[in-house]
Structure 1
């Protein structure tokens, strides 16, 4: 599902217009982005949690040359699904 399909589905489920559903989705994405930039967690009970974790520096290899390279430490975004989401996805059809 891409963004346009998600906006259409949100509009259909909520009774909003597609324009308003897109504004709501954009606002949600902006709010989550701002929170994660501040190293905050965003928890949606039953759905899941967005969080920032730190990945340590490590050594890697250039696959083309085999030369060892240093990969710097960085922050990465992770998502941990909530129990309701896991239950909904894990159900057998």
Structure 2
């Protein structure tokens, strides 16, 4: 399902116009992005947790040359699904 299909499905289920659903989805995305940027964790019951994870710097090897390289610190957004979401997907 892509973004357009999600908006259409939201409109069907809520009996709201697609423009309202699109605006709501856009605001939800913006709020989650801003919260993660500020270092907050976003917990949505029944769905899961959006959080920031830090991967420490480490050494690695260039697979083409075999030379050792330093891999810098990385900060990534992560999603951990709630148990209810896992159950819904599995059965």
Scaled by the length of structure 2, the TM-score of the pair is: 0.91
- Tell me the CA shift for residue 90 of structure 1: 1.0
Residue segments in structure 2 that go unaligned for 5+ positions in a row: none
Q: Distance in 1 between matches of 2:7 and 2:41?
A: 24
- Tell me the CA shift for residue 15 of structure 1: 1.2
Coordinate RMSD, CA, aligned: 1.2
- Tell me the CA shift for residue 68 of structure 1: 2.3
Q: How does 1:5-84 map to 2 (within 5 A)?
A: 5-84=5-84
- Tell me the CA shift for residue 52 of structure 1: 0.5
| 5-14 vs 48-57, which moves further | 5-14
Stretches of 4+ aligned residues off by more than 2 angstroms: 60-68
Scaled by the length of structure 1, the TM-score of the pair is: 0.89
